[in-house]
Structure 1
Amino acid sequence: MDSFIDYLERKKYKKCYDLILAETKVVEIPWKTTYNSHDCGVFVIRNMETYLGKGNFLQELKKEGPGQIVQLNMLRAKYMVKILLMSFNEKKKTLLKQAQAYIKTKPKSSKVLTGNDVKVDEELFKQFNEIVIKTINV
């Protein structure tokens, strides 16, 4: 927390001193890892993206193991695309040109997936609803 506040101070963020006085709370998460020290950025983004407060998460990660590795690979790709394609990315045009040139060299056997191709499991919807209801009722 201290280095984050130091960073905000250097950037002259006016409310950084409010953070010094703020009470912090460490949330215990079941997917805490023992051996994975290189995906901390992915974990931070995912936890911020899905945390609903009061210890509840919109969607949980699997415990450390092969299933979590698959999830982390998918999330890493998702976040990379979002970051690279942001409108303020000064290298976006260059990246897109390079990607188009690369695609032209590949055979047409691969299919580009869209949101319509992704099917969401009914169980996931059920879990989402349960978590939202718990959060609202607490």
Structure 2
Amino acid sequence: MTKIMKTTPIDRQKMDWRTKSNGIDCGILAMRHMEMYIGQLASWECGLAKENAPNDLQQKQLNNPRIKYIVKILLHSQNENRRKLIKSLNKFLELGAARIT
């Protein structure tokens, strides 16, 4: 399979939401693409605005998936620091430093 993959041409898709100057959110974009792809390139729509859309719309749209993915990663049962994180969060909330709604 490795030989096949090495010689297979890359077909870079033209997506309206593709970025040219955002090198920071590539992980979030990749995860969003994997989450939204249903096997049909012709109708693939991940709901993101174009880069440099008015009012930084794409950046605002990336905030929700960013939060969702990081919470899932941090609180996943395989995370060895999960209990430590939960304990710190509970202590933080007990001190009344913040209210999460």
TM-score range, shorter chain: 0.7 to 0.9
Taking a change above 3 Å as real, the CA distance of residues 91 and 16 of structure 1, as seen in their structure-2 partners, is farther
Q: Which of 60, 72, 78 in structure 2 is aligned with 1:70?
A: 60
**TM-score, with length taken from structure 1:** 0.60
Counterpart position of 2:47? 60
Deviation at 1:21, TM superposition (A): 5.0
Write out the 4+ residue segments of structure 1 that deviate beyond 4 Å after TM superposition.
15-18
Counterpart position of 1:37? 23
Deviation at 1:30, TM superposition (A): 0.4
Deviation at 1:37, TM superposition (A): 1.3
For structure 1, the residue ranges without an aligned partner over 5 or more in a row are 1-14, 113-138
Residue range with higher mean Cα deviation, 91-100 or 32-41: 32-41
Bigger radius of gyration among the two: 1
Q: RCO (CA 8 Å, sep 6+): is it higher in 1 or 2?
A: 1
**TM-score, with length taken from structure 2:** 0.79
Deviation at 1:24, TM superposition (A): 3.7
Counterpart position of 2:72? 82
Question: How many residues get paired?
Answer: 97
